[in-house]
Structure 1
Amino acid sequence: TEGLVMAKNSSAADQLELIALAVRGNVSLALAARAVRSAVEAGEYEAIARALADQAGRNDPLQPRDRALAATVAAELSRLGSKAAPLWQVAREAWELERSAWWLAYALFREAEALLSAAGKRDAARDVLVRARSIARLLEAAPLLAEIDALAGRGRVDLGSPSPQLLDPVPDRKLPISDREMEVLVLIAKGLTNKEIASELFISERTAAHHVGHIFDKLGVSNRVEAASVAHQAGVLVEDT
């Protein structure tokens, strides 16, 4: 580690102190990793996230990058539970201090995703997503940029430039449904439940159910299998790449 390298060029007393600090930091990470493993096995994801977030915020010998990585792990695990946005904000702030552009863009992307899942946070999500997209474009990070644009499309967030749609813009399709209902139809055809559709499009499960009901009525079908068949016949699905 950096502390051990510095110790080689110091006096004996300074060497011992630097080694002690370096070992302390490494042991802290090892203990955190052990706690994570145990908590994962127990399914206590939110407890893990809190522990790692606390670790990331401590004023100890951990290097800034270590703290940023710990914060990111905590935020990633929070995606399995709830209240992810605050933890992604912690991770984002840590990567800002570390000046790591890709990780910063990624943390911003996840923060925006979490904000979109929360009520009344759409404007905040847009601001965060715009920044994430700007950094990803500068880095020419195509895969991350694609994820950002896809998130904007699903969340109907206007980033000021066209975003990829879930559907091909097939001009001659003749399905009597709205664009939003078309997005829902695509997800029905992919086998998603109403709850999964709601999560994918950042809408409530009740709204998703209303869309599904309207689609059935407009297409003259009585179930999801028939609706999926209509979607395939109309050629409105985009193949996964």
Structure 2
Amino acid sequence: MDMKDRLVAFINVLGIKKSEFARAIEVTQSNVSDWVNRTKPSKPSPPAMARINEMYGLNLNWLITGKDEMFIPGADGKLNLDGKKKNLEELSGNGSVFNYRLNPFENRIVTFPIYGEIAAGEPVKNHDADPMKYIEIPRAYLSDQEKTYCALRVMGDSMSPRISDGDIVVIHESADIHNLNGKICACQTPDGITLKKLQLDEEKKRVLLRPLNQEYDVIVLEEYELETFRILGEMALLFRVV
């Protein structure tokens, strides 16, 4: 059973039509139809999942991974008419990018300090020890313990158009270089910290840090440079302040 199957099962347990479900979570019926259609790759965006959680008590860990129970403890699937629309809206159809308004959520939030800046351009020296600001994130968006995440502000446009100058990235701590191959990571290079797409060149025993903006060069770290190279973690969430 995958996420589409679990979503169908959840709606069936609720005993409501897809149109009613769509209205309750403030999406279109076609959105819901696409989410459960096996011929389409569409799935609920994190803001939509947060609204399902708020309105019906859906356990997001169950929806995403199939683990735990369908409902969060104490929830019975009845529509929560007091559910509030989150101050987090999806940008341009990209489920991993959000407009973030600096108003606190009412509950179930985690506050992260924004520790300095990370380069989306040339690497910059270590981020500041003191936080610049704070960002509040729904706990449901985190798949691991809070202490394994940190937030940094992006500086530069080497990762555009997906990641823009001034965006906030939430990094999930990980150093497993093989599992992170091909993913966007925060990396400590001999020249400083940078945000790039990680690529392993096992044949030549080197690491490539690729920008998404083709106007920038690939950073090539040869084998002798890898002693001072460290992966801080994978980009887990991306926020855009508005």
TM-score range, shorter chain: 0.3 to 0.5
The normalised TM-score by structure 1 is 0.32
Structure with a larger share of its residues in strand? 2
- Name the structure, 1 or 2, with higher relative contact order (CA <8 Å, separation 6+): 2
The normalised TM-score by structure 2 is 0.32
Query: Between Structure 1 and Structure 2, whose CA radius of gyration is higher?
Result: 1
